Amino acid sequence: MKHFVGVVLAALLLTLLVSAQSMDDKPKVVMAPIGKVELRAGASKDVNLDFRVGSEYHINSHTPKSPLLIPTVLKLDAQAPVALGDFKYPAGQDVAFAFTGDEKLNVYSGDFTIDAVLKAPANAAAGSYPVKGTLRFQACDHSACYPPRNLPVEFNVTVVK
Amino acid sequence: MESLVKRNALVFVALTVAVLAMLASGKYLDRTRKHGPLKLIGDVKGVEAPDFALLTLDGHKVKLSDYRGKAVLLNFWATWCPPCKVEMPWFVDLQKQYGKDGLVVLGVAMDDTEPGEIAKFASDLGVNYTVLLGTNKVSDDYGDVQYLPTTFFIGRNGAIVDKLTGLLDRKDIEDDVRKTLATDPDAPGRPVTVQQNQADAQPKPAAPQVPEPKDATR
C-alpha cells in the first residue's frame, strides 16, 4: 500500500513539475501528431509533417526575402537503415505588415506542411526506427519579434518486409 | 491494527508535505532560473536600472553607470527583427536632436551573429549611437527581454522612467525622451523589490491548438 501511494504521488509530482516548467514558455508553433508511418523495405514513401503557427504570430518562410531574416528549417535524422531527405517546403505568403511599410515579408501563418521522402533499402530489417530533429523558426507578431526557437520533432517509422 | 492505520496516515501526510514542498521549490527554482531572485519585471517605473558592463562592436567595455547624469535610451533589438529596424532611424534623429541636451542612445543587439554583421547592419541604417553586444545576463537583469524591440528610458538619476515594448509611434518614444531629459539627477530611485519579481510583464498570447492527427503518408 505504502509503495502504491508513493508511486502515485511520484507520478503526480513528475506530471505537475513538467507542466509547471513548460507553462512559462508557450510555443508559437506546434506540430500535429503523426500516426503510424509504415515503410516497405526496398521502397520509398512521402511523409507530410503538419505544423500550426499560433493565430497571433507569423514565422519566416524557408526562403525569406532578406538574408538577415532567420528561415524556417527542418532538420531530421533517421536511424539507419531508414533514410530521410528531399525536403519540400511550402511557398510562403507575401505579406506587408504595419512595421514593413510597402515591403512584403515571405511568411508562414496558420497551418503549413513540409514534405519529405523516406527510404529503406531492400535488406532493411523489419522493425521500428526513430526519426528525430527540430524545426527551427523565428516568430513575430504585429509589432514585435521573438528570438529563434527549436521545436522538437520526433516520430517512428515501421519497416515491414 | 489501529497503529498500522495511524502509521499509514502519517506516511501519507509526510508524503503529501514532501510533494508540496518539492512542487513549491520546483516552481521557485524555475522562476529563479528564468528571472533570478530580483529582476525588472512588472511596473519598473522609478526603479534603479541594473548596471551592466557590455562590449561595443569594436571591443570596448561600456557600463551603464558611465552615463550617470545623462538621460539614457536603452534599446534592445536584433538584426532579424523588422520592427526594430523601423525604430532605428528615429533613434538616429533623436540622438542628433537631443544629444546636446544630454540624451545618450544605447542599442543592445541580441543577435548570435558576428559583431561585423551587426556593425554592417547598423552602418547601413546610419546608426550614430553606441551599439552594444547583448548577453543573456543583461536580458535576464532587465526582466528576460524576449519581446523585441524593448526600450528602457533611464533618467539622469539612474532610475527607469518608462519601458516600451513592441513597435509604437515615434511620438511615444520622443515623449519619453523628453520626460527622461527632465529628470532630476539627485532624485533617489527605488531598488528592485521582490514584489516586482512576482508579476510578469512579458506578453504571453495563448499557444496554438495542436492540429488534428492525420495520415502522415497521405
Tally of residues, chain B: 218
Count of C-beta atoms within a 10 Å radius of residue B79: 22
Q: Give the separation between CA B130 and CA B107, rounded to whole angstroms.
A: 6
Which residues between 97 and 126 in chain B have a beta carbon less than 8 angstroms from any beta carbon of chain A?
110, 121
A11 at interface of B, judged by CB pairs closer than 8 A: no
- The ipTM of this complex is 0.79
Determine the pLDDT at residue A158.
96
pLDDT band at B11 (very low <50, low <70, confident <90, very high): low
Provide the shortest C-alpha distance from residue B79 to chain A (in Å): 6
- Model confidence at A17: pLDDT above 50: no
Domain residue spans in chain A?
27-160
Superfamily per CATH, domain B53-193: Glutaredoxin (3.40.30.10)
Domain residue spans in chain B?
53-193
Under an 8 A CB cutoff, do B209 and A26 touch? no
C-alpha cell at B215: 495520415
The residue type of B19 is V
Under an 8 A CB cutoff, do A30 and B207 touch? yes
Distances in Å between the Cα of B170 and the Cα atoms of B88, B94, B99 are 10, 10, 17
Count of C-beta atoms within a 10 Å radius of residue A85: 11
Q: Give the separation between CA A148 and CA A138, rounded to whole angstroms.
A: 4
Place of cell 551603464: B64
A18-39 burial: b if 16+ Cβ within 10 Å, else e = eeeeeebeebbbbbbebeebeb
- Model confidence at B18: pLDDT above 90: no
Chain B CA closest to residue A4: B12
Residues of A in contact with B214 (CB under 8 A): 32, 35, 48, 50
**Nearest to A27, CA basis, from A55, A1, A2, A48:** A55
The torsion angles phi and psi of B28, rounded to 5 degrees, stand at -65, -45
Distances in Å between the Cα of B10 and the Cα atoms of A7, B15, B20 are 17, 8, 15
Provide the shortest C-alpha distance from residue B184 to chain A (in Å): 32
Under an 8 A CB cutoff, do A16 and B23 touch? yes
For residue range B140-190, list pLDDT tens digits in order: 999 999 999 999 999 999 999 999 999 999 999 999 999 999 999 988 777
Q: B44 near A41, Cβ under 8 Å?
A: no
Determine the pLDDT at residue B12.
65
Cα of B98 vs its chain's centroid, Å: 24
Place of cell 523589490: B193
Which residues between 188 and 217 in chain B have a beta carbon less than 8 angstroms from any beta carbon of chain A?
204-217
Place of cell 532611424: B89
Specify the DSSP class assigned to residue A64: -
Provide the shortest C-alpha distance from residue B73 to chain A (in Å): 18
Q: Which residue has the higher pLDDT, A25 or A68?
A: A68
Determine the pLDDT at residue B35.
40
Residues of A in contact with B146 (CB under 8 A): 146-147
Please give the model's pTM, rounded to 2 decimal places: 0.78
pLDDT band at A22 (very low <50, low <70, confident <90, very high): very low
Residues of B in contact with A31 (CB under 8 A): 210-211
Question: Three-class SS string for chain B?
Answer: CHHHHHHHHHHHHHHHHHHHHHHHHHHHHHHHHHHCCCCCCCCCCCEECCCCEEEECCCCEEEHHHHCCCEEEEEEECCCCHHHHHHHHHHHHHHHHHHHHCEEEEEEECCCCCHHHHHHHHHHCCCCCEEEECCHHHHHHCCCCCCECEEEEECCCCEEEEEEECCCCHHHHHHHHHHHHCCCCCCCCECCCHHHHHCCCCCCCCCCCCCCCECCCC
Q: What percent of chain B has pLDDT over 90?
A: 62
Q: Give the separation between CA B183 and CA B188, rounded to whole angstroms.
A: 11
Provide the shortest C-alpha distance from residue B34 to chain A (in Å): 9
Best of A19, A84, A115, A143 to mutate (most B CBs within 10 Å, chain B): A143
Residue in A48, A56, A146 closest to B216 by CB: A48
Which residues between 31 and 60 in chain A have a beta carbon less than 8 angstroms from any beta carbon of chain B?
31-35, 37-38, 45-57
Determine the pLDDT at residue B186.
86
Under an 8 A CB cutoff, do A9 and B15 touch? yes
Residue in A5, A26, A45 closest to B204 by CB: A26
Under an 8 A CB cutoff, do B214 and A143 touch? no
Chain A CA closest to residue B23: A17
* 3.40.50.720, 1.10.150.120, 3.40.50.800, 2.60.40.10: CATH of A27-160: 2.60.40.10
Determine the pLDDT at residue B71.
98
